[in-house]
Amino acid sequence: MKNQMIDLRNHLFATLEALQDPDKPMDIERARAVAQVGGVLVETAKVEVAFLNAVGGKGTGFIESAKALPGVRE
């Protein structure tokens, strides 16, 4: 899968950094749009987790497995 939750985190952190750039801060409306889309993606991830908890399965790959997360051991 091309886009995963880690990519969303990276985009959100990049937005935060761009907002704090003293020389060329990101436009507030653009940052708001990024945050809104990020929120929608988080909500879809919550639905995916609830679905997997209810019926089982391996998911879409949007949410990384514990093995894929840095510092997480099984």
First vs last C-alpha separation in the chain: 22
* Burial of 64 from C-beta contacts in 10 A (0-12 / 13-18 / 19+): middle
> Could you state, in order of their start, the residue ranges of all structural domains in the chain?
5-68
Those residues with Cβ within 8 angstroms of residue 31's Cβ, 6 or more apart along the chain or in another chain = 15, 18, 19
Predicted pLDDT of residue 15: 94
Alpha-carbon gap, residue 60 to 48, rounded angstroms: 8
Residue 20 binned pLDDT confidence (cut-offs 50, 70, 90)? very high
Question: Are the C-beta atoms of 72 and 66 separated by less than 8 Å?
Answer: yes
Euclidean distance between CA atoms 71 and 2, whole angstroms: 22
**pLDDT above 70 for 1:** no
**pLDDT-above-90 percentage for the chain:** 41
